[in-house]
Structure 1
Amino acid sequence: MQDSTRKPRKPELLSPAGSLEAFFAAMEKGADAVYAGLTEFSARAKARNFTLSRMERIIAYAHSLHRKVYVTLNTLVKEQELPRVVEVLAALSGMGADGVILQDMGVFRLMREHFPELPAHASTQMTIHNSLGVKQLETLGFSRVVLARELHLDEIRSIARNTTMDLECFIHGALCFSYSGQCYFSSFLGGHSGNRGRCAQPCRRLYRYRGKEGYYFSTNDFSSIDLLPELIDAGVTSFKIEGRMKSAEYVACVVGAYRMVLDAPAGRREEAV
């Protein structure tokens, strides 16, 4: 594989915005961009999310501050829902969304054929975990890929060396017990599909095994604040904070902490941490 030269640059700090309050918290604390979902086709259906009219207003507000808004249309889409997807994409194009995060390749085809001005971002739900997967998306016309959360730093470096595509990495928040985009636990246990935005998070429950109770499937949240220099050197384009179900207070604290470290001079990042 050809080694693509990627010069390290200051990455984008990308915050969740699961509510209007969280959006304003992210803006106030210095997020470069937010990702937010609509009331339909969002993988976080239980978040408060946004109507199209409200999404238009937050995009306009973010643009007035020279920030960006990426909209999540990252569920799988049923055949009868495709006409509505076209309507939503047309609205997002008209309001100047900075990118659409998607999982369903049918949605991607609609975007390429009818709304090529909308940048397509491959969701972590697509389970992109190697350089060939990234190359395939690049060939198809995606502008950014959200890498699988379970990747090791060395794997991220290897992928970055072999593409010029924007790479987005989760740096803070919850982890899934399964591979990104491949968990059917909620579907099997209660009929609530994570790929339709309705994950009931059975992995967070208390279970009994051989007479002992424990949270056997519940992974700890992760923080990469100590790894920021290595991730910057690897060529990661965007640092993503998980948490569209989190409160505005949580968003403010986490975004503020990472903003402080990213803005610190290279020799003083350890002190900032």
Structure 2
Amino acid sequence: MQVEYYPAPPPPGPRVAGLELDAILASAADLELPNYARTVDALLGGSANFAVDRAAAAELRRIDRLVEVRARANRAFVRRVVRDAHARGIDQFLDLGCGIPSIQSVHGFVHAVNPHARVAYVDLDPVVVAHARELVADLPGVSVTWADLRSPGCVLDAAEIAGRLDPSRPIALLACGVLHFVHDDLTTLLSRWRELLAPGSVVAATHVTAPRTAARSAAVTTVDRMYSRGLAGLALRDPAEVGDALAVVGPVVDVVDWPHAGAGGRHRMGYLGAVGTV
């Protein structure tokens, strides 16, 4: 499949004509098309989705009977990472590829233990950004930025983030449930992010895996067809590839086995994760 992303957000600085979020959103917000982030919200039991997204969720369950369980396992992993980061004294959280922050949101996890913690959400999908901004508009300390995680410097320089997070202090960086839509070299990308974080920061990343089979190819084709607008297409990597990429973050395990075996359940999900400190 040809790799195509949403138009990249403008870099920090003077506005570039034609790249305003509202202009992009107007062409992308077709409520008759399913949106992947809203579909995940439906899988998690959230309410920030529409009938077309719930139909897409049903189709995903048909082609992968564990898709909902995996989505929930990934969010449970994020919750454990957030609690661990809080225990380390971290009160700044940067969530890349945030999706719809409704049910099981990072700010919900964080503010349950520290109401004063700051959370910066980032997503490339303008539909997601618009939904997310509505959901967190009244929450102090929470922001949503339209930005591309493949450009770490631009993300950190964005006004909403530069004015909210202090890069000289530790940050918990989350890239969970998004990397299988990134076609770039993940080892290089994750290394660049680590280089920009202050000592004591925590980095967590996850990536779903699947063996190279005819069933996987059919599933990828179906998902790419369902989400033909905006997503770059699934970049499913086999376990060895994911393990090599995430190793730059920390020890790689199934998401249910962090921080220790069976922490998130007895059955492995084929969803790998890694957590490490800078």
Q: RCO (CA 8 Å, sep 6+): is it higher in 1 or 2? A: 1
Which structure has the larger Rg? 1
Fold match by TM threshold 0.5: no
